[in-house]
């Protein structure tokens, strides 16, 4: 018998989710652990650039860190599905601490670029994936339905807030007497928050679920629906990646380079505000239609920015409008996992979403940089829209794979029984 999964949430559901017995401590700890998620990588880039004097080397180190995150998300997710979150997170914290220490020592000792890139990659691989663990924890705290959906929406919205605060904190701390201050502060928050989350009673009570799919070599990605979801997440990352390079380039060309980061924060702001209301009445209803529709609409709204590159005001307005579709996509990706991930692979499945978005960002950054340099800034926005629409079309063609298998019935958690 199929299990009907609700994909909408009332505002009251947010409060119900966050006040669920057992959720308080994990929520607080995960907030601290995830706050520097967009801060560590940027702080590392700024730190390396300040110490080496080279944006080229700093960019390679940052790219290495992104690739590391993409790899580590899946590896850690699969391990947490098999062992629960506590032990894997504690091991990741130890390795992450060693990696951050190593890269700082290497930068201070002016080691060659290849070693810095390798160490930057190790920082990304070992970064504790508290976001994936936090998302998966809700399945043990709440039964399927609108309250759990509200919890997923909260995860997406809070993450978007950190993508606003992270770069701002990185920019402030790089001006400290020692340029590596942001790296250390971000790492400390991540380590303390990860340890706190791993040791909460709710996280320690999680028992791994076994399944044939979990033991397969491909794991969660063996599911056709999961591959479709990963494709949608990749398209989202690619579309955003183009814009994240083109906007600072436009601000620099206009003679107001510092405004680039502020303008990107603006579209995250509208994303958070609209995300709260979108979760109440998500559209389209069926997830198989929602994934391509949201990506396609996002891409369409990016296209007009190509006409506004000479006016930072109009470009900012364009960002505000396009930004409303960011959090809805993140929420849809998180919710769709329940429909497409094989039983027992939820954490790894979320890791694949993170990996797909990260690889998309890396691809968007690299291609957009070439377009800005050799063709022009408008070309980057056009390419962003074109790539988003192309991938949205591919997701549409694969829409039948989403929801083809419903999750097996889950027992209602004791903590959720009133």
Percent of the chain surpassing pLDDT 90? 46
Question: Which pLDDT score is estimated for 406?
Answer: 42
Residue 231 has pLDDT above 60, yes or no: yes
- The answer to whether the beta carbons of residues 7 and 285 sit under 8 Å apart is yes
Query: How does pLDDT run across 188-217, given as a tens digit for each residue?
Result: 999 999 999 999 999 999 876 655 544 466
Query: How does pLDDT run across 133-187, given as a tens digit for each residue?
Result: 998 899 889 998 888 888 888 887 888 778 777 777 777 787 788 989 999 999 9
DSSP calls for 97-108: HHHHHHHHHHHH
Confidence of residue 114 (pLDDT cuts 50, 70, 90): very high
3-class DSSP string for 268-318: HHHHHHHHHHHCCCCCCCCHHHHHHHHHHHHHHHHHHHHHCCCCHHHHHHH
Question: Which pLDDT score is estimated for 216?
Answer: 61
Query: Which residue in the block uniquely carries the two structure tokens 């759990």?
Result: 148
Q: What is the mean pLDDT of the chain?
A: 85
* Distance, CA of 324 to CA of 294 (rounded, Å): 10
* Distance, CA of 15 to CA of 117 (rounded, Å): 43
* Distance, CA of 179 to CA of 97 (rounded, Å): 18
Query: How does pLDDT run across 242-289, given as a tens digit for each residue?
Result: 998 888 888 888 888 767 777 877 787 888 888 777 877 788 889 999
* Distance, CA of 244 to CA of 34 (rounded, Å): 21
Query: How does pLDDT run across 356-396, given as a tens digit for each residue?
Result: 998 888 788 778 888 888 899 999 999 999 999 999 999 99
Torsion of CA 285, 393, 353, 122, to 10 degrees: -160
* Distance, CA of 24 to CA of 22 (rounded, Å): 6
pTM of the model: 0.79
Question: Which pLDDT score is estimated for 127?
Answer: 95
* Distance, CA of 341 to CA of 225 (rounded, Å): 7
Q: Which uninterrupted H or E stretch holds 194?
A: helix 181-198
Buried b (16+ CB within 10 A) or exposed e, 262-280: ebbbbbbebbbebbbebbb
């Amino acid at each position: 018998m199929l299990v009907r999964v609700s994909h909408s949430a009332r505002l009251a559901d947010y409060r119900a989710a966050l006040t669920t017995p057992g959720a308080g401590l994990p929520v607080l700890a995960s907030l601290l652990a995830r706050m520097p998620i967009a801060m560590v990588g940027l702080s590392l880039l700024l730190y390396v650039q300040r110490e080496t004097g080279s944006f080229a080397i700093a960019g390679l180190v940052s790219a290495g860190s992104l690739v590391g995150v993409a790899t580590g998300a899946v590896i850690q997710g699969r391990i947490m599905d098999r062992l629960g979150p506590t032990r894997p997170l504690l091991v990741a914290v130890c390795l992450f601490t060693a990696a951050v220490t190593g890269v700082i020592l290497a930068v201070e000792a002016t080691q060659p670029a290849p070693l810095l890139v390798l160490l930057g990659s190790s920082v990304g691989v070992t970064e504790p994936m508290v976001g994936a663990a936090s998302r998966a924890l809700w399945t043990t705290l709440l039964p399927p339905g609108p309250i759990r959906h509200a919890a997923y929406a909260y995860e997406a919205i809070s993450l978007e807030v950190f993508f606003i605060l992270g770069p701002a904190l990185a920019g402030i701390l790089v001006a400290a007497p020692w340029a590596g201050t942001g790296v250390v502060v971000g790492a400390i928050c991540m380590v303390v928050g990860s340890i706190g989350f791993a040791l909460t009673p709710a996280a320690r009570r999680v028992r791994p679920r076994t399944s044939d799919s979990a033991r397969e070599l491909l794991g969660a990605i063996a599911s056709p629906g999961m591959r479709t979801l990963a494709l949608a997440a990749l398209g989202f990352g690619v579309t955003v990646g183009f814009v994240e390079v083109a906007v600072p380039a436009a601000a620099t060309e206009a003679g107001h380079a510092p405004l680039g980061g502020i303008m990107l924060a603006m579209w995250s702001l509208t994303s958070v505000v609209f995300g709260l209301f979108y979760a109440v009445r998500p559209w389209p209803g069926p997830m198989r239609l929602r994934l391509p529709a949201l990506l396609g609409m996002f891409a369409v709204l990016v296209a007009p920015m190509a006409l506004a590159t000479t006016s930072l005001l109009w470009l900012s307005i364009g960002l505000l409008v396009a930004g409303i579709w960011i959090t809805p996509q993140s929420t849809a990706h998180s919710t769709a996992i329940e429909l497409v991930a094989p039983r027992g692979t939820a954490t790894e499945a979320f890791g694949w979403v993170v990996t797909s978005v990260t690889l998309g960002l890396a691809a968007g950054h690299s291609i957009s940089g070439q377009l800005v340099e050799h063709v022009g800034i408008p070309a980057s926005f056009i390419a962003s829209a074109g790539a988003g629409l192309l991938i949205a079309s591919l997701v549409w063609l694969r829409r039948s794979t989403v929801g083809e298998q419903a999750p097996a019935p889950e027992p209602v958690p004791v903590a959720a029984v009133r």
